[in-house]
Amino acid sequence: MGIKKHNAAIKYIGVFLLTASVLLTNFYAVRAEDTGTVGTSAQAAAVIEQNSGRVLYNKNADQELPMASTTKIMTAAVALKYGNLSDVIEVSATAAGVEGSSMYLECGEKITLENLLYGLMLLSGNDAAVAIAEHIGGGVDGFVELMNKTASELGLSHTHFDNPNGLPSDTHYTTALELAKITRYAMSMPEFVQIVSTKSKTIPWEGKGYDRSMTNHNKLLGSLEGCIGVRPDLQRRQAGVWFLP
C-alpha cells in the first residue's frame, strides 16, 4: 500500500508566523484578489508562487521567528529524502514519551515510516517526529544535522533547527519567506503532497483489536476549494502554512 502521486494544480504557498488573530482570517486577507490594500495581522507573512518561487506578498518576511509545528514540514521532507516508506520502525520509549501533540505511539510498537509520516502531518505527532528522527538520523541530534544540512542546501541563511517537532527553543527559528521555500521544496515531492492533502487515514495499530484512525488537523482541506495543505499550528496559533488555489 504505497503513496500515489497527487495531480492537483499547485499555485501559491502562504506562510503566516506569530499570528495575533485566527489564522483562517489571515489566510483570506492575504488571498484577496481585489485592488485594495492587502494585509494580515500576522507578525510576518509571505506568499510565493510554487513554480517560480516569485514572491507575491511579504510582511517582515525576513524576520527570524519561531516556527512551532510547521517544523514538521522539514521533518517530513528530510524523511522522504533519506528514508524508505516501507521501512518498519520500532518505537522507542523516548519517542513514545515525548510531550505535546501525539499520535499515541507505544514503546515497542512497530510501524512503517509511511504511517509515521501520516501521523506526523495529519495529527502533528511529536512522538512520530522523534521516532522518524531516531530511525533516519540514528538519533534526534543526527537527524537535526540533516535538517540543517538540507536548509543550507536550499540556500537558507535565517533558519536553524534544534529538534524535529517544533518544541520551543531559543535557537529554533526561521522566517516567513524561508519557511515558504522549505514548503516549496517539500511540495516538489509527490509523496509529501499526497500526505498533507489527505483528510483522514486509517492505519493498522499493532497489538490492538482495532485500527488507528487519523483526521487531518488542517480544517481548510474541507472548507476551501482547491486547498491541499499544508501545516497549521493549532495549539499555540504561532504559525501556519497553506497552499492557496
Tell me which residues are annotated as active site: 69, 72, 124
Looking at residue 4, the DSSP 8-state letter turns out to be P
What is the separation of C-alpha 147 from the centre of its chain, rounded to a whole number of angstroms?
13
With H, G, I as helix, E, B as strand and everything else as coil, classify residue 46: strand
Contacts of 43 (CB under 8 A, 6+ apart): 17, 18, 19, 20, 60, 63, 65
How far is Cα 242 from Cα 108, in angstroms, rounded to an integer? Answer: 34
In terms of Cα–Cα distance, which of 93, 3, 50 is closest to 242? 50
Containing H/E element for 196? helix 190-196
